[in-house]
Structure 1
Amino acid sequence: MWKDAKKLTAVAGILLLCASVVAGCGGKDALTKVKIGEVTRSVFYAPEYVAIERGFFKEEGLDVELTTTFGGDKTMTALLSNAVDVALVGSETSIYVAQQGSEDPVINFAQLTQTDGTFLVAREDSGTFSWDQLKGKTFLGQRKGGMPQMAGEFTLEKQGIDPHADLELIQNIEFANIAAAFASGTGQYVQLFEPQASIFEKEGKGHVVASFGVESGHLPYTVFMSKQSYIKKNQDTVQKFTNAVQKAQAWVASHTPEEIADTILPYFKDADRAIIVSSVKRYQEQGTYATDPILDGAEWNNLLDVMDNAGELKERVAHDVIVDNTFAEKAKSTVK
């Protein structure tokens, strides 16, 4: 029995040693969890999906959990309530939080897209298009105060159209239901993201006639942001996150629409590959995908102009108040 006891003790010791070694290895190689909330699922965010699928986040030691939160208000609520660590959403939402006098402001730290991502889709194909054709028509726009709607109104006014007087503007439909409303017969024109715009073209439900991204210029349209408290506590994680974004942006800039589409297809399981390729190509050609995560002052001021034009800006929030480019600048200079 004594020998059996000694054997059991020895086995137990070996098992404990193995467990400690495994735990030690696991601790060394463990990935840091980061929860991302994206405002919608769109080809518009291709670099984000590339960063996940090509393993750029994992290379930086991060394990990202992606949730689609559908709508800027819902995304910001998720961030402020700590349901997510990082939000991918329009910079205007961080300005709204700042205007409310938050003690823990939301900080923009890595830009993903630099133009509006919506397109003007007409129900009928007139052969040639001019913006005057919208006058007197029903236009199915986006949610009031959201970046798509503000950029849309900015573009319409730039084209000499008063969106509240020259056409019937509908903007009380939930973001996720806008495409379905148009498909069911509401409106003669609609403002849509890809791939929905291309899907409607293929199905004969509409025709892309103009790009709001081209017309409204460079904007910090979609940016990764976190609460200031999170960034202060997790600076190393935020830097690694931004490095992964930079890697993805460089990869997207140097690859074809077909290669990008094949990488992001898992995020659009019910979509036709040709539609995804077409959508990526449109965004690439108009320079929508930012080539680095830096949010510069000129883009910020254009955003403020767009918000001011929409009547959504109480006061101009300075660029350096809720934008921190230190992570993006380091990523751009060090990531190859």
Structure 2
Amino acid sequence: MKRNISLGVAGATMLALLVTGCAQTAQKTAPSQSTGNTQPAAASQGTPRVAIMVGGLEKIIYLPYMLAENLGYYKEAGVTVTLVEESAGQDAEVALLAGQVDGAGGFYDHTLDLQTKGKYVESVVTMADVPGEQLMVSNRLKDKVKTLADLKGLTIGVTGLGSSTNMLASYNVVKGGNKESDYKPLPVGAGQTLIASMQNNRIDAAVTSEPTASLLKNKNLAFTFVDMNSKDGTQQALGGKYASTSLYMTTDYVKAHPDVVQKLANAYVKTLKWMSTHTPEEIADKMPEEYLAGDKALYIQALKGQLPMFTTDGKMPQGDPENVQKILSAFKPDIKSVKLDQTYTNEFVDKANADSK
């Protein structure tokens, strides 16, 4: 039976359906019941079921999650995956800690932030080593905002409060010599909700990813002020690489279900390798039509700019955790006490890479 994925459903509604085990997807079979940190439910032939909430499935930075499904790699790995849509990584983090989903698709920086709150989660697959984000400023402020210091007093759109976009906005404000309290982060999501907020002057700037960034430029609404999308731009803006797109899970879950985690690592490592050997056009052809935002050519162009951000092996790049810690510590001093070796593991992707050879 072909695996199904829930699309276009509000995260809260979808979670309620997952918890009761009665979710249905249009013209598809019922998705799995979320198992949180308990034993994964068995499918008809003993296939483990896993629910993963992703902070924006349509964002190119989270492309591997849907691509793995459309390539058939979850099924090949022997795991049934339900992907749950949410607009921000912060929402995925909350759902994970509540036991409503088994894994979260979000940025690695959440694992550090959570450890300071006594919550232990770890990245089991690290899919990218730059944020894939841009700090964009409204064109109406082009003559006013010239340096990072000029971010003081602005309302900056982020996907959600406490999200990675929020943290990156805070870092850039502080880097400009201001305090974190010197700007107002406003949760506006991504895609059309963010674009509408920029059009209506609800926000002065935004930290956002593709394809939203290209749409803002195409509509002549905003310009890139800080590039955290390319490797060179990230080096200049953040002083080094920044592990971003990850699959993270609670440490308790990873210890209790290493076989399930291994299946997921196998699927994602194979997906990353496939991405590294195929063209943007071929990748775009595998994505749902609605992810292309009505402009496939623009999506492909944006994809070309973002493909270099992805790892090819799912491993945590050397030096990335230390740089993420340094950046977050600029406005969250307690991050300095985080034990980095507890925030990620390469155990599962190392085995996946070895087996793929």
TM-score range normalised by the length of the shorter chain: 0.7 to 0.9
- Specify the SS of the correspondent of 1:301: helix
Match of 1:235 among 229, 238, 258: 258
**Counterpart position of 1:36:** 52
Structure 2 distance, partners of 1:188, 1:324, is 38
CA distances 1:311-332 after superposition (whole Å, capped 9, x unpaired): 2534432222232210011112
- Specify the SS of the correspondent of 1:305: helix
Match of 1:175 among 178, 189, 197: 189
**Counterpart position of 2:319:** 298
Structure 2 distance, partners of 1:132, 1:321, is 33
- Specify the SS of the correspondent of 1:324: coil
**Counterpart position of 1:279:** 302
Q: Does 1:111 align with 2:136?
A: no
CA distances 1:167-208 after superposition (whole Å, capped 9, x unpaired): 962203343554432121234433221111111222222233
- Specify the SS of the correspondent of 1:121: strand
Structure 2 distance, partners of 1:145, 1:75, is 11
**Counterpart position of 2:177:** 162
CA distances 1:52-99 after superposition (whole Å, capped 9, x unpaired): 111111110112100013333321221122211111112232223322
Structure 1 distance, partners of 2:292, 2:228, is 27
CA distances 1:134-176 after superposition (whole Å, capped 9, x unpaired): 4677352435543223334434555xx23449x9622033435
Q: Does 1:54 align with 2:71?
A: yes
TM-score, normalization: structure 1? Answer: 0.79
The one of the two structures with greater contact order (alpha-carbon pairs below 8 A, sep at least 6) is 1
Equivalent pairs, count: 303
Q: 1:294 to 1:225 in 2, by over 3 A?
A: same
Structure 2 distance, partners of 1:36, 1:62, is 12
Structure 1 residues without counterparts, runs of 5 or longer:
1-25
**Counterpart position of 2:245:** 222
Q: Does 1:97 align with 2:114?
A: yes
Q: 1:280 to 1:70 in 2, by over 3 A?
A: same
* Aligned partners of 1:121 and 1:209 also within 8 Å: yes
**Counterpart position of 1:72:** 89
- Specify the SS of the correspondent of 2:56: coil
- 33-42 or 212-221, which moves further after superposition? 212-221
Q: 1:280 to 1:163 in 2, by over 3 A?
A: farther
Q: 1:168 to 1:124 in 2, by over 3 A?
A: farther
* Aligned partners of 1:297 and 1:319 also within 8 Å: no
Equivalent AA in structure 1 for residue 139 of structure 2:
E
TM-score, normalization: structure 2? Answer: 0.75
Match of 2:334 among 307, 313, 320: 313
Structure 2 distance, partners of 1:144, 1:74, is 9
Structure 2 residues without counterparts, runs of 5 or longer:
1-41
Runs of 4+ in 1 over 4 A off after TM superposition: 26-30, 132-137, 155-158
* Aligned partners of 2:74 and 2:264 also within 8 Å: yes
Equivalent AA in structure 1 for residue 67 of structure 2:
V
Q: 1:28 to 1:153 in 2, by over 3 A?
A: closer
Equivalent AA in structure 2 for residue 281 of structure 1:
K
Offset of 1:237 from its aligned partner? 1.3
**Which has a greater percent of helix?**
1
Write the mapping of 1:191-270 to structure 2, written as runs, cut at 5 A: 191-213=207-229, 214=234, 215-216=237-238, 217-266=240-289, 268=291, 270=293
Q: 1:148 to 1:173 in 2, by over 3 A?
A: closer
Structure 2 distance, partners of 1:163, 1:182, is 23
